[in-house]
């Protein structure tokens, strides 16, 4: 039996070996992530084939703002929920009090965001949506849907319910594809309809996968300040990270507001060059849960091994997606999205390099988060944002500047976070475990 097992292990394919290096539960999420990633392409392709250039630019900007501001505000909610819930599961504690606290914070964030949008509806509409207030309303609704999805998935990931997590992503993706294709077949020429897809599909997917959330156990209360103290710097970190990854389209709109073809083309390029990010999305939930569990158990070696393996997988993903994007990208965006000939291979090279560096920065940021180094993660993205702004302001062709800025911003964040992690491990031979261990956690943060 042992010999047979050894032989079977020795004959594993490279793909099997690669998948086995991923954090536990990742493979259950990959299918849903791939489908949702494909849905983003099909959604934008359908819009590109039925809308004119100004209308498509409006949808492109709405999508970009949602991915920037929405993920910046609400993905940290998912991350903190995953981290705290996973640690509580290891300690045998109920997670319902954590969910209640995080829900209260999420509702408050949504209230501030939507009220601000209502007050500034006219300037937002004029700047990004050609004066259309209904697109601002659609953006606000999409923020609500995104918040619901992130809260739901944060609990599911922390509980290790990756089947439900993947199902939610798959349902969301399938609905986006079905509605977008249906609109294209019906020759719908309204950007509002394509924008509302970003609200309808996520909300339905949350309802479909709400079952595991109904039986949550109550347990020891958690202070609002405990959740907020970690969430606040994480929100700022994620907002800055989303500025880095999504700045190209918005920067182009601000630098060349009359060039709708370039704005739309850059969004298509961003989506194409970020193919590895959709796969990486399936790593994030299980990576954070795995790192949190090893940290809670005090397994320093397991923590380091998981971090190293994930970095290798991310590098392979970046190269696998970046090389084809660099070689074929200028042609593909014209064929798939009806984009104008506004970008070259060099632009795609910088965009692909930026995606690789960005994924590595996300992995390193997850490690800092689990080690309660929220402020050092924030510092890394702050340095990256400064590098992005400086590069964007350098004279030269707009497309090249914004693509290169993505690379330089992501690379600067990687360098800063690697330095922070090395200093963390050199200074502290162990790391904090549970959020309940307040004294150890406080001394750990104070040491840096």
| Closest to 89 in 3D by CA, of 441, 365, 433 | 433
Cα distance between residue 215 and residue 203, in whole Å: 20
* Model pLDDT, residue 24: 53
Cα distance between residue 300 and residue 370, in whole Å: 12
* Model pLDDT, residue 360: 93
Judge whether 192 and 134 are in contact, CB under 8 Å. Answer: yes
Mean pLDDT by 10 residues, the chain (448 residues): 44 54 61 82 86 84 86 86 82 81 92 94 89 93 95 88 87 94 90 93 94 78 76 83 83 80 79 76 66 73 82 88 89 78 88 93 87 86 95 89 93 94 67 41 33
Q: What are phi and psi of 396, to 5 degrees?
A: 145, 180
Residues 6 or more apart whose Cβ sits within 8 Å of residue 101? 222, 224, 227
Cα distance between residue 313 and residue 360, in whole Å: 10
pTM of the full structure: 0.70
Burial class (CB in 10 A: 0-12, 13-18, 19+), 30: buried
Tell me the two tokens of residue 445.
Answer: 């943060």
Go through 112-128 and write b for each residue having 16 or more CB atoms within 10 A of its CB, e for each that does not: ebbeebeeeeeebbeeb
* Model pLDDT, residue 148: 95
Judge whether 406 and 245 are in contact, CB under 8 Å. Answer: yes
Q: Where are the domains of the chain?
A: 25-437
Residues 6 or more apart whose Cβ sits within 8 Å of residue 23? 283, 286, 287, 289, 290, 291, 306, 310
> What are the tens digits of pLDDT across the range 204-216?
999 999 888 887 7
Alpha carbon 243 to its chain's center: 12
Alpha carbon 410 to its chain's center: 14
Cβ neighbours, 10 Å, residue 387? 21
């Amino acid at each position: 039996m042992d010999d047979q097992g050894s032989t079977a292990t020795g004959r594993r394919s490279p793909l099997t070996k690669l998948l086995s290096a991923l954090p536990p539960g990742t493979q259950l999420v990959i299918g849903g992530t791939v489908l949702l990633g494909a849905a983003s392409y099909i959604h934008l392709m359908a819009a590109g084939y039925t809308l004119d250039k100004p209308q498509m630019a409006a949808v492109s900007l709405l999508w970009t703002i949602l991915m920037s501001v929405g993920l910046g505000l609400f993905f940290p909610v998912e991350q903190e929920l995953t981290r705290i819930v996973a640690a509580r599961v290891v300690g045998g504690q109920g997670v319902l009090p954590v969910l209640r606290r995080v829900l209260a914070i999420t509702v408050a964030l949504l209230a501030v965001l939507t009220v601000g949008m209502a007050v500034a509806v006219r300037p937002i509409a004029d700047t990004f949506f050609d004066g259309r207030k209904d697109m601002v309303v659609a953006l606000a609704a999409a923020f609500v849907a995104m918040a619901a999805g992130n809260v739901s998935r944060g609990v599911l990931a922390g509980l290790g319910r990756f089947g439900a997590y993947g199902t939610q992503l798959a349902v969301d993706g399938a609905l986006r594809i079905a509605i977008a294709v249906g609109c294209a077949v019906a020759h719908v020429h309204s950007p509002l309809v394509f924008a509302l897809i970003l609200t309808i599909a996520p909300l339905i997917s949350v309802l479909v996968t709400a079952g595991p959330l109904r039986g949550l156990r109550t347990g020891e209360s958690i202070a609002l300040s405990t959740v907020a103290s970690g969430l606040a710097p994480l929100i700022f970190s994620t907002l800055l990270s989303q500025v880095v990854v999504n700045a190209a389209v918005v920067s182009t709109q601000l630098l060349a507001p009359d060039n709708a073809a370039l704005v739309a083309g850059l969004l298509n390029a961003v989506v194409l060059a970020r193919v590895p990010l959709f796969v990486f999305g399936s790593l994030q939930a299980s990576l954070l849960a795995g790192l949190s569990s090893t940290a809670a158990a005090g397994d320093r070696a397991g923590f380091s091994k998981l971090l190293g393996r994930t970095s290798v997988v991310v590098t392979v993903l970046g190269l696998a997606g970046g090389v084809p994007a660099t070689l074929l990208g200028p042609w593909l965006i014209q064929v798939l999205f009806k984009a104008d000939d506004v970008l070259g291979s060099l632009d795609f090279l910088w965009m692909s390099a930026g995606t690789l560096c960005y994924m590595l920065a996300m992995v390193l940021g997850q490690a800092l988060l689990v080690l309660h180094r929220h402020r050092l993660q924030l510092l890394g993205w702050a340095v990256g944002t400064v590098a992005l702004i400086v590069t964007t302001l350098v004279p030269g062709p707009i497309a090249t500047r914004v693509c290169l800025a993505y690379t330089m911003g992501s690379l600067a964040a990687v360098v800063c976070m690697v330095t922070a992690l090395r200093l963390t491990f050199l200074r502290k031979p162990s790391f904090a475990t549970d959020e309940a261990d307040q004294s150890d956690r406080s001394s750990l943060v104070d040491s840096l």
